[in-house]
Amino acid sequence: MEMNVETNSSPMAPKPSKQTGWRIWWSLLRPHTLTAAFVPVFIGTAYAMQVGGINQIHLPLFLIMLLACLLIQAATNMFNEYFDYKRGLDHEGSVGIGGAIVRDGIQPKTVLNLAFGFFGIAILLGVYICMNSSWWLAAIGLVCMAVAYLYTGGPLPIAYTPFGELTAGLFMGVIIIGISFFIQTATVTSEVILLSIPSSILIGAILLANNIRDLDGDKENGRKTLAILVGRERAVGVLASMFIVSYIWTIALIIVSIVSPWMLIVFLSAPKAFKATKGFIGKSIPVEMVPAMIATAKTNTIFGLLMGIGLLLGYFL
């Protein structure tokens, strides 16, 4: 559920871009965000292997869970594209959007219908998951999809409130990791919840970085994001704190023996976190902050992948 909120103040009619064919549709998916769906599924499954052994892992469930999450992630991006355009927030010069509507000429209704189509496929995949685990997951899955829609849809989008970071972190971190673990082990433990915290924090950091970049435009459009409430300078401080807590939390997981010392490999992602924080300092123009935002997203991706690899190394070695 990666949700980009853009700094845009005036609507513009869709205009064609140089992209053609499949590249337009690929761009609409915002492929750089899809790792946010892969990483938590990977972490939850890797921890299930550590707890129950490789023979307990049901590969089809892992793959179907992964595909369902990717579809929901892509649909969320499309809802974002559609509703921000409808509210006049996206225009041809917007930073960080897919641009299928305002730059590539795709009809808004087509984007909306495609998003609901992805939801429909995800529901069918969810039925298979429930048939092989628990039907309680159906309720959780529907709540996840409702939140994905309401993040930028509905009368009061979550993205316009101070709760965007918390919501994204909870659903894309704790809940997806927990579900991925549950469908393999038929249980949820306090350990897997604790394990999910660093990833959840870093997912929230992506949203905070986005809102730091878009602070001025969001303020003009009446939004009340966390970055607006605390101010740009303090928001950068909060972002740095989120990085620090994620790494300290990982050390704590090792100390209490939830994970092995192999988990220290997540510190290989620390340079990206440093680059992200430094890249926001003293900046106020959105395009100047794009590298810092990309570094934030890469921190989450690299950290999460290394966490999953650390779990696998702890199991096999």
CA distance 18 to 90: 18
293 contact partners, CB below 8 Å, separation of at least 6:
96, 206, 209, 210, 212, 213, 276
Domain interval for residue 266: 22-316
User: What's the average model confidence in pLDDT over 146-158?
Assistant: 92
Domain membership of residue 30 (yes or no) is yes
Domain membership flag for residue 61:
yes
Supply the pLDDT for residue 142. Answer: 96
- Checking if the pLDDT of 73 tops 90, the result is yes
Domain tally for the chain?
1
Please state, in angstroms and rounded to a whole number, the distance separating the CA atoms of residues 17 and 23.
Answer: 11
Residue 12 lies in a domain: no
Provide the 3-class DSSP secondary structure of residue 249.
Answer: helix
- 7 located within any domain: no
- Residue 33 DSSP symbol: G
Give the range among 2-6, 213-217, 230-234 with minimum mean pLDDT: 2-6
Q: What is the mean pLDDT of residues 176-197?
A: 98
pLDDT number for residue 23: 80
User: Going by C-beta distance under 8 Å and a sequence separation of 6 or more, which residues neighbour residue 274?
Assistant: none
Read off the DSSP letter of residue 1.
-
pTM of the model: 0.91
Residue 9: pLDDT above 50? no
The least confident of 100-114, 118-132, 254-268, 281-295 is 100-114
The percent of residues in the chain predicted with pLDDT above 70, rounded, is 90
| Inside any domain, residue 2 | no
Cα 143 to the center of its chain, rounded Å: 16
Please give the pLDDT value at position 198.
98
| Burial tier of 141 (Cβ tally within 10 Å: 0-12, 13-18, 19+) | buried
The answer to whether residue 5 is domain-embedded is: no
- Name the band, by pLDDT with cuts 50, 70 and 90, for residue 93: low
270: amino acid identity, one letter: A
Please indicate whether residue 247 or residue 217 has the higher confidence score (pLDDT): 247
- Domain membership of residue 8 (yes or no) is no
Give the CATH number of the domain where residue 163 resides.
1.10.600
Mean pLDDT computed over 125-149: 96
Average pLDDT, the chain: 90
The pLDDT of residue 1 is 45
Stronger pLDDT, 264 or 103, i.e. the higher one = 264
User: Are the C-beta atoms of 133 and 141 separated by less than 8 Å?
Assistant: no
Q: Residue 14 falls within a domain, yes or no?
A: no
Show the DSSP H helices in 132-231 as ranges: 136-150, 164-169, 176-185, 190-213, 215-220, 226-230
What would the pLDDT profile of 44-70 be if each residue is shown by its tens digit? Answer: 999 999 999 999 999 999 999 999 999
Give tens-digit pLDDT for 96-109.
555 678 766 789 99
Quick one: pLDDT band at residue 221, thresholds 50, 70, 90?
confident
